[in-house]
Amino acid sequence: MKYIILPLLIVALSFSGKAQTSISKSEINDVEISGSKPKLIVAIVVDQMRYDYLTRFENKYGAGGFKRMIKEGFNCKNNHFNYIPTYTGPGHASVFTGTTPKNHGIIANDWFDKSLNKMVNCVEDNTVEPIGTTSHDGKKSPIRMVSTTFADENRMFTQMKGKTIGVSIKHRGAILPAGHTANAAYWFDYEHNGSGNWISSSFYMNDLPDWVKAFNSSDITESYFKVWNTFYDISTYHESGSDNNNFERIFKGKDTPTFPYDLKKLKDFNGNFKIITDSPYGNSLTTDFALAAIDGEALGQDNVTDVLTISYSSTDKVGHDFGVNSKEIEDVYIRLDKDLERLFVTLDSKIGKGAYTVFLTADHGVVEVPLYLQSIKIPSGYIRTREFREKLNAFILKTFKDSTLIKNISNNQIFLNRERIKALGLDLSSVQQAIVNEIISSKNIYKAYTATAMSTGSFAEGIEHLLQNGYNQKRSGDILTVPYPGYIFYRKTGTTHGSGFNYDTHVPLLFFGNGIKQGETLQKTVIPDIAPTISALLGISFPNSTTGKPLEFVLE
């Protein structure tokens, strides 16, 4: 780009202003932020995507989705979460704030609030009103996340001219990435036989924009009440196990967990619109809505950088239902690859090839179904929450002659009744340690630590380091437990995540587009590195609690 030399005074006012011979006072606020920066950052989080889904299904991917990102961009092959627990809420918050739950405060999807004495959701906010629905699912905001995101920093840097829009089936997948200053976050109203509309809350707006109303009034969502069969002939799905097995959830209305799935017939037995989210069509619907947002909000149409965050949630839902080795998970990634290609083609056309920047990562990985692992003789199993609680309560009663010392057990953490402990004249740290000593004798528990150890010790590596990065002094529990690899608190069909083991921590990290080199690395990177890398690309402040470092080898 060629620039006309401006008078010195004007240069002092705007180093990256539009090329022109003079700027009036009234025009100064309209000066471009920079002609070389990306017009749009598209931040993609694929919920529950293990790194090996990139390589395992590689032969089934087309040229325009995952492979395009790898070919044209930069592939960080050894990218990991550096904290426990690896859940959706903490994952999204960590990607966009550049730090861990220790600092941003999102310690789980739901957790026991010690001040309120009840469970709370990570984006729950009863001070706001639902917009586009009457459901309580609309009473959501980022209020519990105490750090800024890079999208927040971009909004402030551009004097609120750069837009931020968050999109996801899940409310937490839309809200946490978009941050506190977002123009809007939109999520899908599917829970509890919801309306099937895309909704928001009064934290962002008083009414849905016309383009959202038009999308909700269309028949796009209902068009996905159709048959889900494999994209390619199922006999070619050599990368996954048998279709009919004992490791997978069976939808109500079916006798086996096998293709095909007639969503129109199954919807009345499986939550109506929820059945769409439990299929790859939830990802297609998310792509449809994201493309509508690009048009409706005119994203990337000037030289002030906008941010669009997209979280694909149906990969997580299918993963929980069917597991890592299922035909269903293979098909959902084959179809997601097609949705990514559709997104990138639209960005090329409407923003301009080379005028936008994309990164893609995940919020956590996932463990193979333990029942499947057992069938091939790999150590694994299930810890029954009720049995664990009963055994612990019996120990508490025998040792301390009191049955009220435990308030809550959730997210592999134990919350003690500190008021009661104080009233009994007991030492809190001694009670914590006694419980740890009892828990560690349990057959399937690998490690356990007290809050006192997390607060006063310093762990530089290993599981202890990950626990400490996830430990928030105000919000986390009194005892933190870690099951052995392959052992989970969960039902026997399907699977889950949350640990600090490689199957939960190792996730993709791909960059491509404006300002990104072509290449790859096996150097270890961690999730908090993403936000400062994007901030460095944009030349803006890092999010205020960032602990990650910019990946300079990714940037041109």
Structure tokens at 270: 């499986």
- DSSP 8-state symbol, 73: S
Tell me if residue 88 is catalytic. Answer: yes
Q: Please give the biggest Cα pair distance in the chain.
A: 84
Q: 63 to each of 69, 337, 343, how far by Cα in Å?
A: 9, 9, 13
Catalytic residue among 21, 86, 88, 496: 88
Q: Residue written as tokens 């997104």?
A: 343
**Residue in 344, 42, 51 with CA at minimum distance from that of residue 178:** 42
Cα distances from 49 to residues 70, 185, 329, 368, 507, in angstroms, run 16, 22, 10, 13, 6
How far apart are alpha carbons 134 and 131 in whole angstroms?
8
SS3 content of the chain, % helix, strand, coil (to 5): 40, 15, 45
Using an 8 Å Cβ cutoff, are 473 and 107 in contact? no
Q: Among candidates 203, 206, 161, 159, which has minimal Cα distance to 185?
A: 203
Q: Characterize 17-30 residue by residue with b for buried, 16 or more Cβ atoms within 10 angstroms of its Cβ, and e for exposed.
A: beeeeebeeeeeee
User: Within a 10 A sphere around the Cβ of 479, how many other Cβ atoms?
Assistant: 27
Distance of CA 387 to the CA centre of its chain: 31
Catalytic machinery residues: 88
